[in-house]
Amino acid sequence: MNVLIAGGGIGGITAALCLAKQDIQVEVFEQASTFTEAGAGIQLSPNCSRVLHHLGLAQDLRSHGFLPEGTQFRDWKSGKVIAESALGAAASDKFGSPYYHIHRGDLLAVLIKAAHQNDLVSLHTDARIVDYHEAKDDVSVTVNGSTHHGDVLIGADGIHSAIRATLWGEAKPTFTGNIAWRAVVPTSALPEGMVRPMSTAWWGPGKHFVHYYVKGGTLVNCVCVVEKAGWEVESWTEPGDLEELKTDFSGWHRDIQTLIAAADQTSLYKWALFDRPPMPSWGQRRVTLLGDACHPTLPFMAQGAAMAIEDGAVLAACIAQDSNIPVALKRYEDLRRARTAFVQNGSRRNAKVFHLRGIAAWLRNRAARKASSGAMDKLYGYNALTAVKQ
């Protein structure tokens, strides 16, 4: 069997490694000239880190990542802690796998290293797939004048997926009214101890600000979301203006002002957040989708990459267990659709909850303080490695 994957990002390479783990040959086609990840930090919760550990990547993740002690929510102005929960050893003990913070580029580098070392995985760059041809017994793509045949084609080509457009036509997204900023800050530029070894989210009226360590604690990753209109560029690589970011968070706590002032301006980007509802169907016959291509997720649950990583494990198991490809792909989709829709809808809900004002914000804070310690069990306790029953 040979599987073709359009897209060499985190989701596509993870899927390739999961398939190779099942002794399935894979070809990955990446449109860029190199395998790179735009962006800064990423959170790897236990539901996806267990997949990466299963692939033998634990040592590299520990080398490049950061193990946070917990998650904390704070008031935008006073800095008062609204609520917090433990991660670290508590998460590892409870869920059987750790919670990492890691730079996106570092994670992709770890995955690419493993792919290069696997004889079943072939990587192609400068190889954009824009269309495919499906016959009775295979599916083929033509890239740079060469035709490649496979039993399956997986569209892991992101939020602007060409495979999705070929399958289902162009779908127009909806602007959420939110602009997201992202930046990294050298830890050496900050007062010692100012940033705790946690994922910290500051909630404010119409805005929120998240920060956490990456690069082994040498950098602080910041993601800042603001409700505003008039600029709607959906791109991960659009440079941002530091003065505009300062204006957006004027009046916030002094720690936020310090972080913004120390931001590396060469790594400052902003993008408009667009939303797409859960899709009723992902694939047809020998072609399916994975990750942002079928369930793009707003960054309010830190689960976008996690869902793509879970997808890869479930998809590989389905293909390995059933030689009837259309049946296997339908099984994969049926197993994943409700799970990913749950995260999409939860992220959409959090976009409103984080930005509440007045009495609604007071009620939210009170509820957060009383939240059950098991509130994240459904999310973090999911095991993609056992989701496909024998």
Tokens matching residue 17: 């490694």
Residues 184 and 66 sit within 8 Å (Cβ to Cβ): no
Strand order through the sheet with 2-6: 121-124, 25-29, 2-6, 152-155, 287-289
Residues 290 and 205 sit within 8 Å (Cβ to Cβ): no
Q: 51, 71, 42: which is closest to 375 by C-alpha? A: 71
Residues 103 and 118 sit within 8 Å (Cβ to Cβ): no
SS3 content of the chain, % helix, strand, coil (to 5): 35, 25, 35
Q: Which residues contact 148 (CB under 8 A, 6 or more apart)?
A: 4, 27, 29, 140, 141, 142
- Distances 105 to 6, 47, 64, 124, 154 between C-alpha atoms, Å: 19, 20, 10, 18, 22
Q: 169, 253, 155, 239: which is closest to 207 by C-alpha? A: 253
Side-chain-facing half-sphere of 43: CA atoms under 13 Å: 27
Residues 27 and 3 sit within 8 Å (Cβ to Cβ): yes
Collapsed DSSP state (helix, strand, coil) of residue 331: helix
Residues 298 and 176 sit within 8 Å (Cβ to Cβ): yes
Q: Which residue has the tokens 């920060």?
A: 211
State the Cα–Cα distance between residues 260 and 206, nearest whole angstrom: 18
269 is catalytic: no
Other CB atoms within 10 A of residue 348 CB = 16
Q: 126, 111, 141, 125: which is closest to 3 by C-alpha? A: 141
Catalytic residue among 99, 100, 132, 212: 212
What residues act catalytically?
212
